[in-house]
Every structure is written in C-alpha cells, then in structure tokens.
Amino acid sequence: MKFRYHLVILLAFFIVGISRPTQGQKTTVTASAQTPLQRVQAYRKAHETTLMNEYWQFLAIPNVSADSVNIRRNAAFILQMMQQRGIPAQLLDGTRPGITPAVFGEVRVPGATKTLTFYAHYDGQPVNPKQWAEGLEPFKPVFITAPVEQGGTIVTTYKAGEFIDPSWRLAGRGSADDKAGVMTILNAYDALVKSNIKLTANLKFFFEGEEEVGSTHLGDIFQKHQDKLKSDLWIIADGPRHVSGKKLVQFGVRGDVNLYLTVFGPKRPLHSGNYGNWAPNPAQRLVSLLASMKDDEGRVLIEGFYDDVTPLTDREKQAMAAVPNMEAALKKELGIARPDGGGASFMDLMMIPTLNINGLQSANVGAMAGNIIPTKAEAVLDLRMVRGNEVSRQIERVKDHIRSRGYHIIDREPTDAERQQHPKLIMIKAATGYNAQRTSMDLPIAQEVIKAVQTTSADPIVLLPSAGGSLPLYLFEKVLKANVVSVPVVNYDNNQHAENENVKVQYLWEGIDMMAAIMLIR
C-alpha cells in the first residue's frame, strides 16, 4: 500500500507537471520544485493528526436527521471549522421555520471567471446501536484495522497525535456518508491556502442537513437563496468511489423515494392455535403482496415500471463500456452465488429503476417470537428512479399494482368500519422523493473536472453517466439552473446506511487531493 501511494505521488507530479506547466511556477513561493498537489499533500502529511482529531470530534456529534438538537450541534461545528479556516460562513434557512439549516460559506477570488460550489451533507441515516459490532458505537468513533465483516478489530493502541496507518478505517455513523465530504472539502481548501497556492476560482461551500430524509427543504433553501448560490458548477462530494478502488466522476444520480406499507390483520394479536386457519395473517398477506412485485431474477413485475426510462447517449454508453467489471470480486466479497438481473451487467442494472425491500417486520422473530397471528405487518420499500422516471408516476404504478391485488389503500390507521368493509387493507405512506438527474459529459466544465481528478491518479479514473445511488441533484438543475457533477471520496465497502459504517483513512487523504485539484479549475 505504501509503495503504491508513493507511486501515485510521483505520477501525479509528472502529470500535473505536464498539464499545468505555468501554474507550478506561478504559485511557487516557498517550494519551487513542488506541484500544487504535492504541496497540498505535504501540508496534509504535516498536519494529519490534527485533521483527524478534529474529524473525530465531528463524528462524535450524533447526526441522525430526526435528532434536531444534535443536528444543529453538527451545523455549529461546521460553522466553527469554516471560521477557523477563514471562510466567511453562515446558516441558510428556508422560507418555513424549524427546518435543519444548510451551512454556507463563500470565498471570492479577484479576477476569477468561474464559481465552483462544493456540496456535502452532514446528516446521517438512522442508527440501531444494537446492530453494530461489539465495541463499535455509532457516535464513538474508533479506528479499526479492516471492516469488521472481514475480521477487522479495533485499534486500541492508537493515541491522539501518533501516526495513523492509512489502511485503517475510522468507524462511526457519518464517517463515510457524508461527513467525509465536509472534512475533505474544508481541508482541501485549508491546505491550498496554508500552502500559499493561489486560488483561481470563486469558491462556495454548501453543507446540507436533511439529505438522509429526502432533502425535504433543499428546494426551499435554493429558492430563497438563489442569488447567493449561483455558480458555474456544483461538485458533490458524496457516495463511494468505484468498487475497483478507482477514482470516479459521476454525471448523474438515480432518483429516490421510500414507501411505507402496513398490512392490517386482527385488531388484537391472536393465539395462533385458537384462531389459526381462520383469522387472516397480515404477515402472510404482506409476503404474498411483496412476492407479486418481483420475479425470481429480481425483475419488477409491476405494469409499466420500466416504461419511462430515457436511453443512454453514445458517449454515455462508451463511458459505461470502459468501467472496470468488478462483478467476480464483488460476488466473492459479498458471498453472492448468482446476482439478480438475469445476466445483465452490474452497470446496466444501475441504469434502470429499482424496487427494494429495505426492511420487513411483523411481531417478533427468534427468542422473542410468540405463537400468534400478528395485528399488522410492515415493509419499507425503496424505489430508485432513472432519467425519464417521475416520482409520483412511479408511486402510482406501485399503488395500482397493490389495488390490482384486491387491496383498499388508506394513508392512516383504519377505522373499524374500514376493517369491516375491506378484506385487504393497506396503509401506504410515501416519503418526499425526488427524480433522477444526469449532466451531459460533453460540457467543457465537466471535461475540466475530469482532467483535474485525473491529475491526482495514476490509474485512469472511472466516468459514470449515473451513480446507482441518489441525491436530489434534479433540484440543482431545476431551481438553480446549475450544472452538477459528483466526485465521490470514500471507499465502496463503507457500510453506509447500515451498521459498522467506516471510511478508509487513505481515502480521506486522497479526497483532500481531489477536492484541492478541482478547486484549482480556472
């Protein structure tokens, strides 16, 4: 790992040296032989324990979206980080009170012709501490030697200020998704400034606090602060790098919406012997309904589910063809004998909509299970959408399917009269969702980003027309009329959204490199 790291630096030196012949000279004040990237790296190396201590403190602040008190503590911490770096910063609210504010900062550079805005989000997915491995807690970050699922153990010997092995991972909610974005963006800026590298573009920073709950008020914040948020390009630091470990620029994301389903059974839990065969079991009803939605290969059977998909352009298809095929390695790592998709490639499957069961629950399992007919059965569905899909239309298709199975749909607990009237009753609640987004790879500024990220990598970087994951990037197009690309920072095996979330230290350092390189776009 160490050898490879040095190789990257040497190659980066070579590449930057060729592609930016004048810049090295212009910005060289104290270290004439070094490229900006080398100087950023040197600065980071000299300060990495300080950076890590600050990040550690940041991760220790609980950031579940619904926890409004702690969410604001996170915002305050970021404000402080920005102020310490000399970035004029403020909280941005929306038009309605009580929303989680975004943290915004702006650095104007005399003579700059372009404005770049760097985005990350500081809220995290809900946590169930019981599901985390022993010794790991969502909001008590620790270093681990490797993912716990691969036998990693906690580094108990580490003391603040000591050398941090870049192969370690820092475990905690938000360590990867997406405080890593905040950390690398602000430290990239700081490294540039502290290394006396001349900035060439106006820089803005926007850190959202409601991403994991569907960015409910992002559009509202955008509306209210349209002028302040004007820029030529938004750079999104979120999501994982390519599974191959390669650096990645993404030009789109899937849209996303959650559906919460509850099928109702008897009004009280019934003894499974005394009522078994007679009282309908809501868990049986739910499994039958969910089973009807997909075939054995994972293809969605809901009518019209794939109808609206906009086909990829030729350039997008070419980019897709160049993406390294990681399926064999993934299958092995994840313990998958045969993927879904009936033989379609991993990348092709990311370019079509999904219907995923996020969770299922009815009564209890394991030692807590009783011999009962439960009163209800719940499922949470995740629908990913691609360019061409429209959230409400996609939801309506799912509902139509459910109706076609004989269900009466309500959006709250049923009344007694409804229970008497409808043999099949289901409550469906939809979270706020959003559509997919895709930026053209042909834009000159998109090509600039590709070049900048490539300077930090000896390997060819990966270019993706769309991520599998989601962000409400359609809002950037729709409200701000802005271009947007994603430059993910973290390792793909980060357990984001789940227990034992972690970020590889090396990826944080490389994230600082990438963000710094992009900040120097002219």
Least separation in angstroms between residue 518's CB and a second copy is 22
Among 115, 215, 362, 456, which residue interacts with a second copy (rule: CB under 8 A)? 362
Please enumerate in sequence order all residues whose Cβ is within 8 A of that of 473, keeping only pairs 6 or more positions apart, or say none.
Answer: 234, 236, 252, 253, 437, 484, 486
Q: Does 354 bind a second copy (CB under 8 A)?
A: yes
State the number of CA atoms in the 13 A half-sphere of 359 facing the CB: 10
Segment 297-326, which members bind a second copy (CB under 8 A)?
Answer: 298
Torsion, Cα of 386, 387, 391, 395 (10° steps) = -50
Among 200, 281, 483, 506, which residue interacts with a second copy (rule: CB under 8 A)? 281
Q: Does 338 bind a second copy (CB under 8 A)?
A: yes
Distance, in Å, from the CA atom of 115 to the CA atom of 106, rounded to the nearest integer, reads 10
Q: Based on CB atoms, which residue is closest to a second copy, 135 or 276?
A: 276
Residues 122-159 as b or e (16 or more Cβ within 10 Å = b): bbbbebeeeebbeebebbebbbbeebbeeebebeeeee
Cα 416 to Cα 296, 366, 420, 509, distances in angstroms: 37, 32, 6, 59
Of 83-91, 378-386, 452-460, 512-520, the segment contacting a second copy by CB under 8 A is 378-386
Of 84-92, 162-170, 230-238, 293-301, the segment contacting a second copy by CB under 8 A is 293-301
Q: Does 129 bind a second copy (CB under 8 A)?
A: no
Residue 72 DSSP SS3:
helix
Among 309, 380, 428, 479, which residue interacts with a second copy (rule: CB under 8 A)? 380
Token readout for 143 is 């270093």
Among 159, 332, 412, 481, which residue interacts with a second copy (rule: CB under 8 A)? 332
Find out whether 382 and 356 touch, Cβ atoms under 8 Å: yes
Cα 336 to Cα 70, 131, 296, distances in angstroms: 38, 22, 15
Pairing of strands 502-504, 202-208: unpaired
Segment 40-79, which members bind a second copy (CB under 8 A)?
Answer: 66
Of 79-87, 197-205, 361-369, 443-451, the segment contacting a second copy by CB under 8 A is 361-369
3-state secondary structure 374-397: CCEEEEEEEEEECCCCCHHHHHHH
Segment 461-480, which members bind a second copy (CB under 8 A)?
Answer: 467-470
Among 72, 419, 451, 478, which residue interacts with a second copy (rule: CB under 8 A)? 419
Element spanning 144, H or E: strand 142-144
Least separation in angstroms between residue 307's CB and a second copy is 16
Q: Based on CB atoms, which residue is closest to a second copy, 50 or 274?
A: 274
Q: Does 395 bind a second copy (CB under 8 A)?
A: no
Number of residues that bind a second copy (CB under 8 A): 101
Among 378, 443, 450, 459, which residue interacts with a second copy (rule: CB under 8 A)? 378
Least separation in angstroms between residue 355's CB and a second copy is 8
State the number of CA atoms in the 13 A half-sphere of 288 facing the CB: 13
Among 220, 244, 346, 459, which residue interacts with a second copy (rule: CB under 8 A)? 346
Q: Does 377 bind a second copy (CB under 8 A)?
A: yes
Token readout for 216 is 């409910």
Among 25, 32, 157, 420, which residue interacts with a second copy (rule: CB under 8 A)? 420
Identity of the amino acid at 484 = V
Distance, in Å, from the CA atom of 23 to the CA atom of 32, rounded to the nearest integer, reads 11
Least separation in angstroms between residue 503's CB and a second copy is 14
Q: Based on CB atoms, which residue is closest to a second copy, 156 or 277?
A: 277
Torsion, Cα of 506, 512, 517, 522 (10° steps) = 170
Among 220, 232, 382, 477, which residue interacts with a second copy (rule: CB under 8 A)? 382
Q: Based on CB atoms, which residue is closest to a second copy, 243 or 452?
A: 243
Residue 280 region by backbone torsions, left for phi larger than 0, else alpha for psi between -120 and 50, else beta? beta
Longest pairwise C-alpha distance within the chain? 85
For residue 221, report the phi and psi dihedrals to the nearest 5 degrees.
-65, -45
Distance, in Å, from the CA atom of 404 to the CA atom of 397, rounded to the nearest integer, reads 10
Angle between helices 68-84 and 179-194 (to 10 degrees): 10
Among 83, 421, 440, 447, which residue interacts with a second copy (rule: CB under 8 A)? 421
Segment 135-164, which members bind a second copy (CB under 8 A)?
Answer: 147, 149
Of 101-109, 111-119, 120-128, 202-210, the segment contacting a second copy by CB under 8 A is 120-128
Of 34-42, 75-83, 152-160, 330-338, the segment contacting a second copy by CB under 8 A is 330-338
Q: Based on CB atoms, which residue is closest to a second copy, 87 or 490?
A: 490
Least separation in angstroms between residue 144's CB and a second copy is 14
Q: Does 404 bind a second copy (CB under 8 A)?
A: no
Q: Based on CB atoms, which residue is closest to a second copy, 81 or 347?
A: 347
Least separation in angstroms between residue 446's CB and a second copy is 22
Segment 94-113, which members bind a second copy (CB under 8 A)?
Answer: none
Distance, in Å, from the CA atom of 480 to the CA atom of 229, rounded to the nearest integer, reads 8
Q: Based on CB atoms, which residue is closest to a second copy, 122 or 205?
A: 122
Distance, in Å, from the CA atom of 190 to the CA atom of 360, rounded to the nearest integer, reads 45
Q: Based on CB atoms, which residue is closest to a second copy, 139 or 346?
A: 346
